[in-house]
Amino acid sequence: MKPAAASLTLWRGARLATLAGAGGWGLVEHGALLVDGARLAWVGAERALPAGLRAAAEHDLGGALVTPGLVDCHTHLVYDGQRAREFELRLQGASYEDIARAGGGIRATVAATRAAGDDALFAAARPRALALMSEGVTTLEIKSGYGLSLDDEARCLRVARRLGRELPLTVRTTSLAAHALPPEFDGRADDYIDAVVQWLPQWQREGLVDAVDAFCERIGFSTAQTRRVFDAARALGLPVKLHAEQLSDMGGAELAAGYRALSCDHLEHLSESGVRAMAAAGTVAVLLPGAFYFLRETKVPPVAALRAAGVPIAVASDHNPGSSPGLSLLLMLHMACTLFRLTPEEAVRGVTLHAARAIGLAGSHGTLEAGKQADFAVWDIEHPNELAYWFGRNPCRRVVRAGRQRAAPLSRPPEPVEPA
């Protein structure tokens, strides 16, 4: 028999939902995962394990369900303060746009974020990340957008990077400086876009930015202004994403598709031509049911048209203080099914494979396949469709990220960690 390889860990006795392939759950009964360092070296049925294999450590999962680690591909985790008063105002009849135009909304969070120190921003963002992680999330995208100045946007991006260094979590950072107009640029939106275009190269040189986003909307920025931001991103070799067609049809999705955007997000008012453009570009549609629910919207994204056109559909939390203050990606799964009529399989693919694609990580994350990062979650459920069925319950038993076990969810006492 071969000697045990010091880097190999075997996880056996699992029911695997690999999500590999173009469709289906990719279920493997009596499955096993062989982890080599931070990567999956082998995935399949236990009976097909390589002959003579000896791993340095083995874990028997007792028939538990295993899925890829979840990916939250749209969050705004780094900010200070909260906007509960605005929630109250909306319940009294004020619209999201009314509040924004009166100086509330994003600007209120910008003021609080600018006033907070870096450590305070980190201390506020860390428990938000941990809450998502407790439900099996192993990868997050974090956008800036609450600094709206050269230095404050950079601070927010640095805090996001710090979360990825200090937590067992993969973090992708996105510059969303084109989120709103800061007060010092009142009435000078084009001048502010000039500034953003000048700031981007510095953030890239500092290694702070993985992608560039913008809010293309009546209360945000025009398609012409968005195009200027995207041109600057393309010149730097940075991929783009877009907050598109949330409150109106601005033609943002077609614009973004012209830049082969990684994703277009929200999409309640997406047109047929926008669907076609996204399909041709391979752009992911990121649905954000939390914001739809919280803002009490009534126009549903055109899921049937996206499905028919073959546009990949992702689902994300959109955690932010103004329109989606939730911290449960599992709840978003449920909402995507109940509010947007996704199937459970579509929803689960939407927080694994397609979410990874939306942040440029489909080659390394999102499925259980040899060669990919060893990120997986172990669940106290029998079938992956239950991830979309239950709400108000966290069935996550344990998480492995980059081949190493994380602590159990914060909502229950930690299980003993076996030596790796």
Query: pLDDT at position 77, please?
Result: 98
What is the rounded distance in angstroms from the CA atom of residue 269 to the CA atom of residue 248? Answer: 6
Residue 216 lies in a domain: yes
Average pLDDT over residues 332-352: 98
288: nearest Cα among 341, 330, 324: 324
pLDDT tens for each residue of 257-298? 999 999 999 999 999 999 999 999 999 999 999 999 999 999
Tokens 């710090």 -> residue: 162
Query: pLDDT at position 418, please?
Result: 38
What is the rounded distance in angstroms from the CA atom of residue 270 to the CA atom of residue 249? Answer: 6
In the chain, the amino acid numbered 70 is L
Tell me the two tokens of residue 231. Answer: 């041109």
67: nearest Cα among 345, 279, 314: 345
Query: pLDDT at position 383, please?
Result: 98
pLDDT > 90? residue 99: no
Query: pLDDT at position 285, please?
Result: 99
Query: pLDDT at position 4, please?
Result: 57
pLDDT > 70? residue 417: no
- C-alpha distances out from residue 257 to 9, 25, 176, 227, 325, Å: 42, 29, 18, 11, 29
Average pLDDT over residues 242-251: 97
Average pLDDT over residues 347-356: 98
pLDDT > 50? residue 302: yes
Beta bridge partners of 241: 263
Residue 22 lies in a domain: yes
Same structural domain, 135 and 167: yes
Residue 195 lies in a domain: yes
Beta bridge partners of 243: 215, 265
pLDDT tens for each residue of 115-158? 999 999 999 999 999 999 999 999 999 999 999 999 999 999 99
8-state DSSP, 45: E
Same structural domain, 185 and 244: yes
CA 370 to chain centre: 23
Residue 236, domain extent: 70-358
Same structural domain, 61 and 81: no
pLDDT > 70? residue 18: yes
Residue 114 lies in a domain: yes
What is the rounded distance in angstroms from the CA atom of residue 23 to the CA atom of residue 5? Answer: 34
Residue 414 lies in a domain: no
Q: How many domains does the chain have?
A: 2
Same structural domain, 206 and 225: yes
Query: Average pLDDT of the chain?
Result: 94
Q: Which of 338, 358, 378 is the last residue of a domain?
A: 358
314 half-sphere exposure, CB direction, 13 A CA radius: 31
In the chain, the amino acid numbered 84 is A
pLDDT tens for each residue of 213-237? 999 999 899 999 999 999 999 999 9
Report the CATH number at residue 243: 3.20.20.140
323: nearest Cα among 169, 134, 145, 60: 145
Tell me the two tokens of residue 387. Answer: 């991830």
Same structural domain, 78 and 187: yes
Percentage, residues of the chain above pLDDT 90: 88
Question: Exposed (0-12), middle (13-18) or buried (19+): which is 97, by Cβ within 10 Å?
Answer: middle
Residue 323 lies in a domain: yes
Q: Is residue 224 a contact partner of residue 231, using CB atoms and an 8 Å limit? A: no
Same structural domain, 194 and 326: yes
Same structural domain, 58 and 100: no
Confidence of residue 96 (pLDDT cuts 50, 70, 90): confident
What is the rounded distance in angstroms from the CA atom of residue 188 to the CA atom of residue 79? Answer: 24
Query: pLDDT at position 55, please?
Result: 93
217: nearest Cα among 257, 275, 264: 264
pLDDT tens for each residue of 47-77? 999 888 899 999 999 999 999 999 999 999 9
Same structural domain, 53 and 89: no
Residue 411 lies in a domain: no
Query: pLDDT at position 133, please?
Result: 98
Same structural domain, 217 and 331: yes
pLDDT tens for each residue of 368-416? 999 999 999 999 999 999 999 999 999 999 999 999 997 654 444 334 3
Average pLDDT over residues 240-254: 97
Residue 419 lies in a domain: no
Same structural domain, 238 and 208: yes
pLDDT > 50? residue 420: no
pLDDT tens for each residue of 172-189? 999 999 999 999 999 999
pLDDT > 80? residue 88: yes
Query: pLDDT at position 291, please?
Result: 97
Percentage, residues of the chain above pLDDT 70: 95
In the chain, the amino acid numbered 144 is S
User: 91-100, 122-131, 157-166, 232-241: which has the minimum mean pLDDT?
Assistant: 91-100
Dihedral of CA atoms 99, 104, 105, 111 in degrees, nearest 10, equals: 180
Query: pLDDT at position 408, please?
Result: 52
What is the rounded distance in angstroms from the CA atom of residue 24 to the CA atom of residue 100? Answer: 43
Report the CATH number at residue 28: 2.30.40.10
Same structural domain, 154 and 171: yes
Same structural domain, 85 and 132: yes
Q: Which of 321, 339, 358 is the last residue of a domain?
A: 358
